[in-house]
Amino acid sequence: MAGLQRQQLVRLTGAAWERVLAGSERGESVACLEHWAAQGLPLVVGRQPSGSDPRSIDVGLPAPLRWGRQRLRLRVRPDEIAGVDRFPALDRVAGLPLPRDVRSAVHALGTALAACRTAARVYGGYGWQLLTGLDYLRPQSDLDLLLEADSPAAADALAAELARFAFEAPRLDGEIVFADGRAVAWREWREWRAGRSARILVKGIRTLDLVSAVDWPTPSSPALAA
């Protein structure tokens, strides 16, 4: 599992899908899995459960509306992964049904984030609809973004831009991801850095920590290690 991070996408080999489907009980979830296998659609790497076998990888499939928005989880081996991918770039949201004013705001947000030297990627319902062409979006769906930062100052700049563009519908949500893959919710980061919150939740591929140190992450922190 070396090198994999939360929110990365993986595509399985044909043999892996055969194994998964052979071990699945009949039901609504199987129809979803069969579609994923037939179309070669990706799965997402989640936080690995405590005590899980490090020789296998926990991956997820958030099903679309057609299959009841189930959250399916699979365990796969590293040799069953055919490739690694990433969620779509923010500019692809223009291809989804959005009000004209929101589409303009998303375009302006993408330009502002690019000026911060980060590539915004879309996950959640918007990201999965772009990846699969299936219906995920509901009126209350958030627009979830993944944004990479190489320092606390860079994270501050990103959070400031997100706050400046935070439209109400869809609600702008998501995570800032540091160099080792540990991530924080951008809204929580902004509150914490402003001193309005004593601790912040930091998500890693095998960890979930409440951090209170005001200087986290420091240049010597693993979160900023090259």
Catalytic residues: 142, 144
Burial of 28-66, coded b for 16+ CB within 10 Å and e otherwise, reads ebeebbebbbeeebbbbbbebeeeeeeeebbbebbbbee
Q: State the chain's maximal CA–CA distance in angstroms.
A: 52
Strand 71-76 relative to strand 57-62: parallel, antiparallel, unpaired? antiparallel
170 and 139 Cβ atoms separated by less than 8 Å: no
Tokens representing residue 180 in the block: 């080792």
What backbone torsions phi and psi does residue 141 show, to the nearest 5 degrees? Answer: -65, 135
